[in-house]
Amino acid sequence: MSSTSRRRKDGRQSVSAQKESKTPALHEQLDEDHIKQFYNVFHGPHTRQIDKKQLARLLKDIANIVYDENELDLLFLRINTKRDGLVTWDEFISHLILGFQSEEISSEFRSLDAPISKLPKVIRSNHRHPINRISFFPTIKNGIHYDFSDGNYLTCSKDGVINYWCMDLKLDRTVLSSSPELKVQTTWVLDMVCLPDVSVVCTSSSERDLRFYDTSACKFELRIIFSSLDEAVVCMHYEFNIKEKDEESKLIMGDMAGNVKILMFNTVARGPFKSQPGIPLLHVRYERLVKRLVPGFRIVEFRNLHTNWVRQVSYYKTLQCFVSCSACPKAAVIIKDITDNKSSYVYKIPKGAWCFTFCECVHLLATGGTDSLVRLWNPFVPNKPSAVFSGHHAGICALILQDSGKYLYSISKDKCIKVWDVIAQTCLQTYLTVPSELGEYSDFTALYNPDNRQLFLGSVTLVVLQLRPLQCSEHTDGTTHSLAVSVVLYNPLFKVILTCGWDSFIIVWDPWTGRRILVVKEAHVRILRGETLSVEITAATFDPGNQLLLTGASNGTLKIWNFNSGTCLRNMSIEPGCEVTSVIWIRGRILAVGWNRHVTEFADNGAAIESSSTGKSWDIRHSEDVFCASVRIPQTLATSTYNGELVLWRLETGQPYRCHNVVHPTTRLRIEYKLDKEEKKRVHTTQGPLSRSSSMYTKKSNSEKSFQAAQNQKAHKLSTIHIPETYIPLRGLATHSMIFLSERTMMPGVATLMIALENGNIQVWSHHPGGNFITSFRAVHSGVDYVTAMATDAHNEYLFTGTTEGYIKTWLMADYYPPNPAPNVCLPKYRLIFPFMLKDLVDGRAKRAVRDQPKPVLLSSFKGHMLPVSGLAYLNEAQIVVSCSTDCTTRLWTLGGRYLGTLGTFKPWIPITIDTPPGNDREYNIPTDLKRMASSTSFKVFTGRNYERSKVTQNEEEDKPIMTANTNKMDIYGKRLEEPVLGNHFKISPRDVGRYAFSLDTTLPYIPVYTHLIMPPAKDVSRPHTSEGISSSQGVK
């Protein structure tokens, strides 16, 4: 599609190359006149529907568009959503609309996580009263630089207690802002502001004063007091320019009478806050400040701007204006120039404004007030807001703009946070889970740190929220889903990759450009107490024609999707509460297995919408949850369970023809055609699967009852499997994955079925009725690891396995129990493809684990993920392996194991040529999260053959004769050094160590240790000389 050509600015060259290799989409080649002509044709008297040939002729006649045969087939399949071979006008115009909508999807990275997705952090405030202000005191570096990454958070309460917090939110120290004039009555602090360029903290109080505290050298000393203000200051904002020393700093204040006052001073050498000898405290009345009798300060007053309290003040730097708001309708928000009293912008809001925020780079102003509405304004057009956001049920207390005005966070008085997309003017999230510890009825204050994207809410406690946190490129390449990725599929018809996850998202990806084509959110949901909750997607597959998608969820629901448009076509369910573990779609039938312990079959007659949502249940033949299933068309369906039961079914009749237990694979279990009616009724009426723990304890007794009842009573001939008692006490080995090698013929001695067990082995079976268990091999190199996902190529030459520790291994299946005649295998050819096979100085764990295992040959082994691999897929034309994991990533690898990229990454994507294997001239990287964790073997695979050439050279040198090695050593080091090596300039002096014979005194009841200590002999102490004056005075006495 053409929308894939919209890429980041730093990848324009790669984008142009991609455009040349792809035909523009249909909606890009049609204009308005063309669409009108198509409308007239479709609404003609005889052409309500057209077939593929007619569509090709119309495209050529109307718009002069010519497609080749393959492109026309794909286009027709995309348009014909009903799959009836005829295209209607609704289908045609819907395809064009979807094409235009896909172009609107930004090519830039956009996370699938909710803006507020992480759990909040609650911190004890260490205040006796609720917090009424949170400020940040940045550290000035080199006198010219500061940011929000280094400094202290300050929290203040009305009693004047100010707490200093470190960046990791550990309490640093506590200080007190008190009035020296109050002797009995305590102070009431209304606001606090930090002045970092002069190392001062200013507080305003109900005593109508301003107190400036010197905080240099970890002090908190009262330096200046401005008292007897006209009205108490209720809000403050400080603006300074650290780079321009000549520019005056501004302290903007709003008071209870609606006045705005600006205190300006120069900050060179800390300005008026510099310590002066003999003046520890400067106490000045406000009227002297107004008369400019205080050196270093000047004040500008803007009186009667509002008729109510000033709620918030700030400074609009680009316009050199201050902004203030109040809960008065005629002058709710005012933007006024500080140098010219005449120029101002007045915004009238019916109930006034409580808060505002603005973004100077895009000139966007947002306001909120008691009417629960968020208004967006153009600052230069105060007559009417450009947009109004509604949805809150209480007054707006705080507003935050993020990412240059793209996202807006509004916080209401009832602690409801809404996240808005400003460009699309939609609500992205409503966050209602603010911890109750913040305080239910008390007011709160907010502070946003743009550096780490943390929102601080302060009241009774301190709550920290992460607002769309950025991903660090030094630790991750990005994520594909917000939660674990459970399924990855490749569609060879449309050449797209499809992923499903526990976040209930279905995402269609273009693997050649790394672009996200389509996102279906909340694909499976459930209603709990009136709330819609997402349900994890656990299984998915395509229909035989690769045009539709079938998904299964953890609550037992199944859905059929048109993944080109994101439309749900059909809803089904196996059993309430039963997780779907595997789904299979064959021609005319849909099979689903899960925790209900049997196969559920649904009819597929080709219609887009099916009225019936219930399926036909096959016979109960498992005693535990079915973990995996695989199909070999048209003969066999294989299912296996949590306790290792393996049953092979005939697809035509739905009857089992072989059953085993993987604990004893050589023993074939007998199939009985008897079943107790009451037992069958109990099983079918069960509403959900039994828990594994309870079923393990009751399995023996239930099996004995079932066996006795079947022997004593005669029932209908239905297939059931009776497990011998020797298998019952233990659970056995769980089967986590299985796969058929479908290209191989069904013969008794041919390996056609691979089963991955919990002990790390892969069992090899023949699904022929006369076949049996063949052998098994070790598929992991760690004792606690096992295979969780498997995939193979179209010719069954390779077997790809993924493990719980994140390793991806490739095994050679071409000569492993193949059908006759056995093909010839050339291992040197594979050494050119797989860097893992190159010789190592010391074999790694992966090679040592298969040292005594000649076949199958391990071609590659590397760590691909930090968490278990949940799915694998293979792109045959491009020779690319796709892996998904519970670490929320889906990654692309070359056949040899080189890293291509992570779907959904925020880093630039290097385009891949369609259906062409990546070559050695491509720039390969190493996954960022694996750089510090991967082994030397994984690094050898990631770096490829170039890294190994030096290694091979070293190994070849080791294989040379000993004489040659000695010659090379002589050439490098010269002749042997002669004694003494250090020469005669240094000689180690001999060291004499004394030996002492101890004899303990045992005559006493205890041995006094101090008597046996070796002490130097006592010496006589000489008497000091006495002066004549002292001796004469002693003589007088």
Give the model confidence (pLDDT) of 764-802 as tens digits. Answer: 999 999 889 999 999 999 888 999 999 999 999 999 999
**Three-state DSSP class for residue 391:** coil
pLDDT exceeds 90 at position 679: no
Please write the tens of the pLDDT for every residue from 267-276. 888 889 988 8
Q: Distance between CA atoms of 570 and 244, rounded to whole angstroms?
A: 66
Q: What values do phi and psi take at 601, rounded to 5?
A: -110, 135
Q: Report, as an integer, the average pLDDT of 510-527.
A: 91
Produce one character per residue of 842-877: b if its CB has 16 or more CB atoms within 10 Å, e if not: eebebbebbeeeeebbbbbbbbbbbebbbbbbbbee
Neighbours of 958 (CB within 10 A): 9
Please write the tens of the pLDDT for every residue from 459-507. 999 999 999 988 888 888 999 999 999 999 999 999 999 999 999 999 9
Q: Distance between CA atoms of 926 and 467, rounded to whole angstroms?
A: 29
Place of tokens 């022997």: 711
Q: Distance between CA atoms of 758 and 751, rounded to whole angstroms?
A: 20
Angle between helix axes 69-79 and 89-104 (nearest 10 degrees) is 100
DSSP code for 14: H
Q: Distance between CA atoms of 513 and 154, rounded to whole angstroms?
A: 47
Half-sphere exposure of 737 (CA within 13 A, CB side): 26
In DSSP terms, 639 is beta-bridged to: 629, 647
Among 596, 633, 636, CA closest to 618: 596
Going along the chain from its start, the domains and CATH numbers come out as 2-104 (1.10.238.10), 121-256+260-302+446-466 (2.40.128.630), 500-535+544-619 (2.130.10.10)
Please write the tens of the pLDDT for every residue from 545-594. 899 999 999 999 999 999 988 889 999 999 888 999 999 999 989 999 99
Please write the tens of the pLDDT for every residue from 593-649. 999 999 999 998 765 555 456 788 888 889 899 999 999 998 899 999 999 999 999
pLDDT exceeds 60 at position 55: yes
Distance from the Cα of residue 952 to its chain's centroid: 39
Tell me which of 57-71, 295-309, 848-862, 876-890 is least confident: 57-71
Place of tokens 């009852």: 705
Produce one character per residue of 563-601: b if its CB has 16 or more CB atoms within 10 Å, e if not: bbbbeebbebbbbeebbbbbbbbbeeebbbbbbbbbbbb
Q: Which pLDDT value is given to residue 811?
A: 96
Please write the tens of the pLDDT for every residue from 882-895. 999 999 999 999 99
What six digits make up the tokens of 143? 């006198």
Q: Which pLDDT value is given to residue 991?
A: 61
Q: Distance between CA atoms of 734 and 626, rounded to whole angstroms?
A: 10
Q: Distance between CA atoms of 95 and 80, rounded to whole angstroms?
A: 9
Q: Distance between CA atoms of 918 and 909, rounded to whole angstroms?
A: 14
pTM: 0.75
Listed in sequence order, the residues at least 6 apart from 571 whose beta carbon sits closer than 8 Å to its beta carbon are 557, 558, 559, 613
> Looking at beta carbons, which pairs linking 288-293 to residues 24 or more positions away fall under 8 Å?
289/226, 289/263
Q: Report, as an integer, the average pLDDT of 228-250.
A: 91
Half-sphere exposure of 389 (CA within 13 A, CB side): 31
Among 380, 459, 358, 472, CA closest to 415: 459
Whether the bond into 821 is cis, omega within 30 of 0: yes
The DSSP secondary structure of 983-1011, one letter per residue, reads TTS--PPP------------SSSS--GGG
Yes or no: say if 912 and 903 are a contact pair by the CB < 8 Å rule: no
Q: Which pLDDT value is given to residue 686?
A: 43
